[in-house]
Chains A and B, each alone.
Chain A
Amino acid sequence: MDEGCKHYWVDGFIDTPIGKIRRINTSLIARDKIDGYMVRWGINRYSFTVSPGLYAVGNPDDTAPVLVTANYKLTFDILRKELYNQNLWVIVLDTKGINVWCAAGKGTFGTNELSNRINRLQLDKVVSHRTIIVPQLGAPGVAGHEVTKNTGFKIVYGPVRAADIREFLDNGLKTTPEMREVKFSCRDRLILTPMEMIPSLKYLVIIFVLLFVLNLINPRGFDFLNTVKVSIINFIPYLGAFLIGTLFVPLLLPYIPFRSFAMKGLTLGAIWTMIYIKINGVFLFPDSQLVIAGNTLLLLSISTYLALNFTGSSTYTSLSGTLKETIVTVPIAALASIVGIGLLVASKILNFG
């Protein structure tokens, strides 16, 4: 057992036939909440882990239920705070710091890891029963009947949400259709948006550099401060397109027409672009058809492409559907962006003519 790894949320040890087992404190403290908030913004994301292995909650004996979870600290915290006043065992699988559903999709929360972990831990010496409770969202990675063949333990699938575990245990390990259904509430969508925005900031940087360089090339001569000022104001329509794809489409998802995410992004992007066209001069762009056409193509491409990206975070899009719209959208958006940049450059060249 890995006693060398000290976690501040371990508050004691339980003696078992396989040695001392760490006991989990089920109350989250400020540090858990702050770390959890930061990781939603991608801060410390790849070291936010729990050491895999067996843990105790309360004072479990050999008849206590056994739960399984992933070793992403955020997942682990969401689970443990629901386990107050319970006496049970928790097996943390090594999912490389990834949540249950995503790890199951990749196979790290899977038949092999679960079977090997049960056998290596000698779980059969800790509990006298032969049932383990796996979260339902682990099912894409776990073949229950194969785990049973490998270990002798029967798999029961528990609820999707940790908040339903208490009721599930009280119900004699039965899930209701409500407990089994994955939802995608406004709050669910909102907490995902920081990690839509942050990885896509690179596109904003590219756009800003492009606008800045184009503004530097000025027939009236070089003026650094003015170039910065004009570029920042030029940038506002692009910031809008960025927020449409990464924030507003996720938030307003059920209210925007079309099933395709790309079409949802194009819809909001088109509304924003029409506003931009109306007040082109407010953003300090020259009164030029070429510039307006170039910006229009770029704004539509950005909002469409970033909205399409959100399929990767959604809880209901199929691979077949995502592939279908990606194959159509990405080449069109890429081509439109290249033409858009070409028009902005052409307008600049004509200015010198």
Chain B
Amino acid sequence: MFEILVFATLNGLVTGLLLFMLASGLTLIFSMMGVLNFAHASLYMLGAYFAYSISLYLGFWLGLLIAPLLVGVLGALIERYGLRRVHQHGHVAELVFTFGLAFLIDEAVQFFWGPDTKNYQSPDVLDFPLFTLFGQEFSAYRGFMIGISVLIFIGLYRLLTRSRVGIIIQAAITHPHTVANLGHNVPLIFMAVFGVGSALAGVAGVIAGPVLTTFPGMAAVLGSIVFVIVVIGGLGSLAGALIASLLIGLLQSYAIASNLGVADLLNLLGLEFSRDHPLTDLWTLTLPQIAPILPYLLLILVLIFRPTGLLGNREQ
């Protein structure tokens, strides 16, 4: 039991931090522009595919460097020529635009790379077990994933709170007109933030590709979860996104690790149940089975009881 608990925690941490890498870019974009970017997970997928193609020629490490840059530039272009254009038609148009973009990117990935899973491998340097605990290996690559995520969090946090650019960004979030009047180029800042946010999604894709399988459905698998995190954490709050990511990563990991089910609950209450009952699906429900829908349950509860999210301070 203890070994499962330890590994479930580690797994939850890896998933949570990966989710955070995605959520951080999304929440940054949201706090700047008020846009929930539906295509964010698609950009994450693009990161993985770009890195896969680059790694075929230049190896993993150059892929890690170049792919996020490409995704970042693409993000900036999307902001400049897409979002800025639909912005005048209001928030719904913006959401719908990113929704369509997600659709298009998914199709484009299938067009260029085909529908198969891709053989995108982690680098040989990291192909060793970092440590072995209770007979199970924890690969060095997962350790590397944790490391990168933590670095990104620290970097972002320092950038936003300590640097001049960060101060301008923070000001532009709340008082865009004042910042513009001070002579700063607000549209440029928007474009840059969108680019950086996309690049972060790209990084997440590059490092997640080898462990989570690079295939056209990888955006869909993560897509809505990332929104859930950003909303639960509180729209626009970086710390909230971190907490929510870890919360959801751990929640899912523990749920899968457990063997509890409704049947156990009934036994605990001293109730018997028969398999032929019309509600048998409900009686035989187990926690691992519903693990993937727990985040949505949490989302609805949070939105009903605390619409601002855990650390958010505004309702959009």
Real complex partners, A and B? no
Which residues of A line the B interface, CB within 8 A? none
